[in-house]
Chains A and B, each alone.
Chain A
Amino acid sequence: MTLMVPAVNVADLKDTTLLNMGIFALFVAITMVIVIKASRNNKTAADYYAAGRSFSGPQNGTAIAGDYLSAASFLGITGAIAINGYDGFMYSIGFLVAWLVALLLVAELLRNTGKFTMADVLSFRLKQRPVRIAAAISTLAVCFFYLLAQMAGAGSLISLLLGISDWGGQALVIIVVGALMIMYVLIGGMKGTTWVQIIKAMLLIAGAAVMTFWVLAIYGFNLSDLLGGAVETSKNPNILNPGLQYGKTETSKIDFLSLGLALVLGTAALPHVLMRFYTVPTAKEARKSVVWSIWLIGIFYLFTLVLGYGAAALVGADTIKAAPGGVNSAAPLLAFHLGGPLLLGFISAVAFATILAVVAGLTITAAASFAHDIYASVIAKGKADADTEVKVARRTVVVIGLLAIVGGIFANGQNVAFLVALAFAVAASANLPTILYSLFWRRFTTQGALWSMYGGLSAAIILIALSPVVSGTKTSMIPGANFAVFPLSNPGIVSIPLAFFLGWLGTVLDKRKEDVTKQAEMEVRSLTGVGAEKATNH
C-alpha cells in the first residue's frame, strides 16, 4: 500500500538530512542564546523558581500553552488521529476540557495560597513535614512519567531526521538529546525556560496554522473532502468513527473510559502546570493566564484534527508506521509532504523546541520540589540558604534528567500522547483529591492527605507496572516478559476514585483534628488574596 501514496518516501528524507539538520541546528542555537540572556537576572530563589513573579497574564498564558502543548499534543495526537482516526481526537478533547477544572476550581485559589510549589498549598493547614514529603514524591513521580514521554518523542523526531531506524542508534540519539536538554535547564532557570516556552508556543501554533491552512487548501477548504481523502488512503471508512482503537473488546472500551477520566482530571494536578501560576503577580493575572492558554490550546487542538486526518490522507498510516519514529512521525512526514525539506526542518525544529521547553519546565518543577520541599524544609529544617537550595535544585535536575533518559530509551516507539496520558493518570490519582479536599473540605486532615496521596500514587504506578504497557505484548516496554495481570493500559478508572475514597476514609478515621485557625487563614487567603506573595521588585 505504501506504493499507492506517491509523494512521501522515507528514503528521500536521507538525501535532505543535511538541510534538515542545518535549519534545526540554527534554531537550537538561537534558543540557547535566548536562554543564556534571560538567565542573567536569576538572583533569588523566587527568580530561579518563579521568575520573580514578574510575568503578565497573557505572557504566562502563552508560556502555559508552551508548557502544555508538548510533543504529546503535536507529534502524539497527530499520529494518533492519523492511525487510529477518531479515537485519537479524544486526546484533544480531554486535554482541553481538563482546563476547566484548573480554571474553575484550582488556579486562582492556588496562586493565593502558595509560594513556589504544589506542596506549599497542600501542606498549608496540615502537618508540614509528612505532607510536604508526600507532595514532593508525587511531584517527582509525575514529572518522571511526563519526561519519559518527552524523551521518547525527542528520540522519534531526531531518528526520523537522521534516518536512524535501529534500536541502538535511537537509544544513542535519546542520550545525546537528553543531555542537551539538561544543559538548557541548568543554565536557564525559570525565566529562561519561560521565554523559551513563549517563543516556542508562538512558533508551534504558527507552524501548525500554516500546515492546517495548507492541508485544507489542498481539499478546497472542505473538511468533508479531507475526511473523504483519509478514508480513501486508509481504505477504511471506520477511521472517521469512534472505536477503531478502543472499540475492539469490552476491556478496551473500559480502557477508553479510563483514559477519558485521567485526561480530564489530570491537568489541574500537574505540578509543572500548577507551578506556572506562581510566575504571575496576582490571582487575577492567574485567571487571565488560564483564559489565554485555554484559547491558544483549544485552537491548536482544532489544528491537530486537520493535521491528523491530513497525515492519514496525504501520507498514509502504513508509511507513518514504517518510518523511523513510527506513529510519532506523522506530523514531520506531513510537513515533508507539503513543503519538502525546508518545512520539515522548520517543523522538526519547532517540535524539538517544544520538547525542550517542556523538559525544561518539568525538570525545573521536579528540582524545585526536591530542593524546596525535601531538602530545605525537611533535611535542612529551613536552615538552608538560598544558594545551597538552588545548588541542590541543579543537582536534582541532573539526576532526574538521567532517569528520564533511561526511561525514554525503553519507552521509545510508544505513542507520546499515550505516555503522557499515564502521567496524567498518576497526577490525577496522587494530587487532585488532596488539592480539592484541602481547598474545599473544612474537615480534611493530614491522615486523609497522606492516605490519598500515597494510596493514589502507588495504585497508579503499580497498575501501570502490571499493565500491558510494560509487559505481555509485542509493543510493551519489556516485550520478552509477561506479568501483565491488570488488563487496562491506563489505570485512571481504578486509581483516581480510590484516591478520592482514601482521602475521605483517612479523614473520617482520623482522631486528630487540624488547626481551625490555619483552615480559616487558608480559606480567607485563597478567596481574597490577602498576604499573597507579590512580585519581587528589582
Chain B
Amino acid sequence: MGHDAQETDAAAAVDFKEVQSTEQFKELRKRHRSFVFPLSIAFLLWYFAYVLLADYAVDFMSTKVWGNINIGLILGLLQFVSTFAITGWYVSYANRKLDPIAAEIRQEIEGHEFDQHGNPVGGTTK
C-alpha cells in the first residue's frame, strides 16, 4: 500500500485549479462533453420513442412485415444495433480524441509515463 500513498502525495501537491484553467484541459473537457452529451440525448430519445410506440401505437407495432415478424420486433432489434454502433463510435472517438490529450495532461502533472498497468516506467518523478 506504500505505493498508493506515494501516488496520492504526488497528486496532492498539484494545483488542480490551475490545471483546470489551462486551455489544454478546457479543450479535453469540451471534446468529452460535446461528444457524450448530444449522443446521450439522442439514444435516450430514440429509446423512449420506441417505448412510447410499443405502449401507445400497438397497431402500428403489430404490422407484419415478413411472415410473423412485425415492426415492433424490427424496431426492438434495431435498438440492439444502435447500442452496438454507439459503443463502437464512442470507443473510436475516445481513443483518437480523448486519450492522447488526457495522457499529455497527466504526464505534465505527474512527470512520468505509465505502462499499460498504470505503473510508472522510466522518466523521473517531479
Q: Which residues of A contact B (CB under 8 A)?
A: 44, 46, 86, 89-90, 92-94, 96-97, 99-101, 103-105, 108, 222-225, 227-228, 231, 238, 240-243, 246-247, 253, 256-257, 260, 264, 281-282, 284, 287, 290-291, 294-295, 298, 301-302, 440, 516-517, 520-521, 523-525, 527-537
Contact = CB atoms under 8 A, between A and B. Distances in A.
A278 to B, nearest CB: 13
B73 A240 contact: yes
9 contacts: A93-B79, A96-B80, A104-B39, A287-B94, A302-B77, A517-B16, A527-B25, A528-B106, A530-B14
Contact of A97 (B1, B47, B58, B94): B47
A34 B43 CA distance: 40
A260 B62 CA distance: 19
A89 B76 contact: yes
Nearest to A96: B83
B72 A241 contact: yes
B47 A530 contact: no
Given A104-B39, A295-B84, A535 B118 contact: yes
B33 to A, nearest CB: 8
Given A298-B80, A517-B17, A534-B119, A264 B102 contact: no
A362 B17 CA distance: 37
Contacts of A533: 4, 7
Contacts of A282: 114, 116-118
Nearest to B98: A527
B4 A225 contact: no
Nearest to B44: A264
A94 B51 CA distance: 9
B23 interface: no
A383 to B, nearest CB: 16
Contacts of B36: 104-105
B16 A224 contact: no
Contacts of A227: 67-69
Contacts of B34: none
B54 to A, nearest CB: 4
Interface in B1-55: 1, 3-4, 7-8, 10-12, 14, 16-17, 19-20, 25, 28-29, 32-33, 36, 39-40, 43-44, 47-48, 50-52, 54-55
Contacts of B94: 108, 287
B91 A537 contact: no
B52 to A, nearest CB: 7
B104 to A, nearest CB: 9
Contacts of A93: 47, 50, 76, 79-80
Contacts, number: 182
Q: Ordered nearest first, which 7 A-B pairs have the shortest CB separation?
A: A531-B11, A224-B67, A227-B68, A241-B62, A260-B51, A521-B16, A242-B54
B113 interface: no
Interface on chain B toward A: helix, strand, loop, or mixed SS?
helix
Given A282-B114, A282-B117, 19 more contacts: A44-B1, A86-B76, A93-B50, A96-B83, A100-B40, A242-B62, A242-B72, A246-B55, A257-B52, A260-B47, A294-B83, A301-B80, A520-B16, A523-B16, A524-B20, A525-B16, A531-B8, A533-B4, A534-B3
Identify the interface centre among A222, A238, A284, A295: most chain B CB within 10 Å of its CB.
Answer: A284
Contacts of A534: 3-4, 7, 117-119
Contacts of A228: 67-68
Nearest to B70: A240
A104 B62 contact: no
A294 B87 CA distance: 8
Contacts of A231: 68
Given A96-B79, A243-B58, A536 B1 contact: yes
B40 A524 contact: no
A294 B84 contact: yes
Contact of B55 (A89, A241, A242): A242
A97 B76 contact: no
A108 B43 CA distance: 19
Nearest to A254: B55
A524 to B, nearest CB: 5
Contact of A530 (B3, B66, B109): B109
A449 B12 CA distance: 25
Contact of A523 (B10, B29, B44): B29
Interface string B75-114: 0110110011011001100100001001001100110001
Among A100, A231, A240, A302, find the residue whose CB has the most chain B CB atoms closer than 10 A.
A100
A302 B91 CA distance: 23
A96 B52 CA distance: 17
Contacts of B118: 281-282, 529, 532, 534-535
Residue among A222, A227, A241, A529 having the largest count of chain B Cβ atoms under 10 Å: A241
Contact of B102 (A105, A222, A517, A529): A529
A231 B64 CA distance: 14
A532 B14 CA distance: 13
A531 B80 contact: no
A520 B19 contact: yes
A6 to B, nearest CB: 22
Contacts of B73: 86, 89, 240
A243 B52 CA distance: 11
B109 A536 contact: no
